[in-house]
Structure 1
Amino acid sequence: MASIFSKIVNREIPAHIVAETADFLAFLDVSPLVMGHVLVIPKKEVDYIFDMDDESYLGLSLFAKTVATGVKKAFPCKKVGVAVIGLEVPHVHIHLIPMNNVNDMNFSKAKLQPTQEELAEAAAKIKAVL
């Protein structure tokens, strides 16, 4: 069964996409830790990041670096945090999270519930600087 992220790749469900290549996709997390929280994925469905072939793994990392640069410009912060957890969706994904303190990366805290309009505005800010 296709993951929710594969359904986003196939445009079966909507997402606030901020960047895309032939092999990778970046879109806003709909329940972000902070505004500007982006998920970066390979379009090919792979469950575990270290099961990716080397070329795809390196490509994903370089794509994430480019997107992180845009996130930092659009959402000024001290750093863009990077997390790979992968338990909630069986599809490789990298979290890019604008952070000003360590608590911004605390996955046990309550998530934000932004409106679709707020997400659209956030996506537009990132796309504008990429």
Structure 2
Amino acid sequence: MASVFSKIIAGELPGRFVYRDDTVAAFLTIEPVAYGHTLVVPVEEVDRWTDLDPALWAHLNEVAQRIGAVIVDAFDAPRAGYLIAGFEVPHTHIHVFPAADMSGYNLATALGMDETDPQRMDDAAERIRAGLRARGVENVPG
């Protein structure tokens, strides 16, 4: 059965995409620790990151690093948080989020789907897309 991330990537479920190529997709999580919280996901459905092909793992991290740099600037964050947890969805994904302290690393503190402001989510996605475009990154949707 396809993971929820595979369904988002396939367009079966909605997603606020900020990046997409043939092997990697990045979209905002519906339960963010902060606005701008992005998931960087391989298109291929692989549960554990340790099972990814090394070239795909490198590309996934390159995309995460670029998004992280944009997040720092776009959200005036001291750092971009980076986290691999993977228990909630059996599909490799990297969490990249604005971080001012360690609280963002506790996913239990994330906003619920019903607590997020759709306009702020849309704005966050557009800020990330604009930042990626400004840096000459290709494969930025919209």
Normalising by the smaller structure, the TM-score range is: over 0.9
Aligned residue in 1 for 2:111: 111
Number of residue pairs aligned between Structure 1 and Structure 2 = 130
2:108 counterpart SS class: coil
Find the aligned partners of 1:11 and 1:115 in 2 and give their Cα distance: 22
1:40 counterpart SS class: strand
Consecutive unaligned residues in structure 1, runs of 5 or more: none
Q: CA deviation at 1:23?
A: 0.9
Sequence identity percentage: 35
Aligned residue in 1 for 2:128: 126
What residue identity is the alignment partner of 1:100?
A
Normalised by the length of structure 1, the TM-score is: 0.94
1:108 counterpart SS class: helix
Find the aligned partners of 1:45 and 1:21 in 2 and give their Cα distance: 15
Q: Is the 8 A contact 2:45 2:91 kept in 1?
A: yes
2:22 counterpart SS class: coil
Q: Deviations over 1:36-57 (max 9, x none)?
A: 1110000010000000011111
Consecutive unaligned residues in structure 2, runs of 5 or more: 133-142
Q: CA deviation at 1:110?
A: 4.7
What residue identity is the alignment partner of 2:48?
Y
RMSD of aligned alpha carbons: 1.2
Q: CA deviation at 1:2?
A: 0.2
What residue identity is the alignment partner of 2:130?
A
Find the aligned partners of 2:110 and 2:51 in 1 and give their Cα distance: 31
Find the aligned partners of 2:121 and 2:9 in 1 and give their Cα distance: 18
**2:45 paired with 1:45:** yes
Q: For residues 54 and 37 of structure 1, do their structure 2 counterparts lie closer, same or farther at Cα, with a shift above 3 Å needed?
A: same
Q: Is the 8 A contact 2:4 2:89 kept in 1?
A: yes
Q: For residues 31 and 110 of structure 1, do their structure 2 counterparts lie closer, same or farther at Cα, with a shift above 3 Å needed?
A: closer
Find the aligned partners of 2:107 and 2:125 in 1 and give their Cα distance: 21
Find the aligned partners of 1:22 and 1:59 in 2 and give their Cα distance: 11
Where do 4+ consecutive residues of structure 1 move more than 6 Å?
Answer: none
**Correspondence list, 1:89-108, <5 A:** 89-108=89-108
Find the aligned partners of 1:25 and 1:80 in 2 and give their Cα distance: 18
Normalised by the length of structure 2, the TM-score is: 0.87
Q: CA deviation at 1:101?
A: 1.1
Find the aligned partners of 1:97 and 1:28 in 2 and give their Cα distance: 10
Aligned residue in 1 for 2:139: none
